[in-house]
Structure 1
């Protein structure tokens, strides 16, 4: 019984951290994500392509769009170039055929951008931007947030991008 109680007490903080995540689903583009605890809806896009959430000085924008020109690789290259033109120092840059993650700093700000391929030549993204002073609070949620951005179930041509939403 003591071992069970000790194990329970060790696991309790992890379970408490997992609580509070809110599902976000976008019907227009067929993608889903989980919104971390502490982030509240700041505004929804009028055209139904996404929403912005805030937690103090941290912002989380989640949206999708149809690729107007080029393919997924071109989209990621354009985002990368834009960040560099805006003065971001990209320290993390990883890309596969179906998803990409870009992260860097500019002054005292940190940005993390995740992009995943969707069906019908569309992509979904989230951009998490926050001050370095919030790094200890915000950084631990990035991994789960990145894994949560995924196409909706039934999106067969994007299944390699990320696990389908259930």
Structure 2
């Protein structure tokens, strides 16, 4: 019931989503995030895992998944390893028991990945990837995205305040 009430509250327009930010609530995994102004829906997963949005060449992917590789820390380590194998230079890498943030560059692209632990052995993520040429326009969105990615009420797996976005 608490999860339903949170989802209903998040779906209603209000001050939390002022200035063009729109809510995205994932009922399947029980998390929410705010979508920045100017981003439009490009694709929605058929299975309800998440969505992809775009603004010009910028891409915002939002999804959740069950932790297939083990505990939350192992999930984050696997994602970190994948980025490094792909050639990303990770300049920001912070992790706690309930959340992690990875950020870096690859050639002329910038990446910011935020992942939080959810209840029921799941995790929610957003990945914001954009060209260096859009840095001044897109990077101001990161802090609010980080703060807005949260589990449904009653799920306390993602503990602690987020650090300032890098």
Pairwise CA distance, 1:69: 2.5
Q: Is the 8 A contact 1:116 1:161 kept in 2?
A: no
Q: Is the 8 A contact 2:116 2:158 kept in 1?
A: no
Pairwise CA distance, 1:162: 6.5
The reply to whether residue 146 of structure 1 matches residue 146 of structure 2 is yes
Once the two structures are superposed, residues 8-37 of structure 1 have per-residue CA deviations (whole angstroms, 9 ceiling, x without a partner) of xxxxxxx9xx50000000000000000000
For residue 53 of structure 1, give the secondary structure of its aligned residue in structure 2.
Answer: strand
Which consecutive unaligned segments of at least 5 residues does structure 1 have?
1-14
TM-score (norm 1): 0.84
Supply the RMSD in Å over aligned alpha carbons.
Answer: 1.6
2-structure distance, mates of 1:161, 1:116? 11
For residue 91 of structure 1, give the secondary structure of its aligned residue in structure 2.
Answer: strand
**Count of residues in Structure 1 that have an aligned counterpart in Structure 2:** 146
Which consecutive unaligned segments of at least 5 residues does structure 2 have?
1-14
Once the two structures are superposed, residues 57-116 of structure 1 have per-residue CA deviations (whole angstroms, 9 ceiling, x without a partner) of 000000000001210100000000000000000000000110000000000000000000
2-structure distance, mates of 1:142, 1:37? 12
For residue 43 of structure 1, give the secondary structure of its aligned residue in structure 2.
Answer: strand
Q: Which has the higher helix share?
A: 1
